Amino acid sequence: MSNFNIIMMMMREKNVESQKARVNVLSLFALLFPTYEIKFGRETIQLYNHETEETSEITSDNFESFKQILIDMFCLNGDNK
């Protein structure tokens, strides 16, 4: 199961532990995209910018690229660059 599928599954679960994880995921996305409305669809994470009226989507097809951008941006690859 891919990381994207795990996140999407957590967002759909209704148990207490998954709800805690859901709040954490939503908080992370709110910090990363403060001017966007974030919605979790069945197979997509939708990012809607009210200022530009543009919608972007994170899907299973582009999630690995998104993840790599976060790794590079926050220096999570251990290179200390």
The predicted-structure confidence for 19-61, as pLDDT tens digits, reads as follows 899 999 999 999 999 999 999 999 999 999 999 999 999 999 9
Residue 42: which residues within 8 A CB-CB, separation 6 or more? Answer: 8
pLDDT at 80 (0 to 100):
59
Selected residue with higher pLDDT from 56 and 80: 56
Token digits of residue 49: 């910018």
What pTM was computed for the model?
A: 0.85
Run of H or E including 50: none
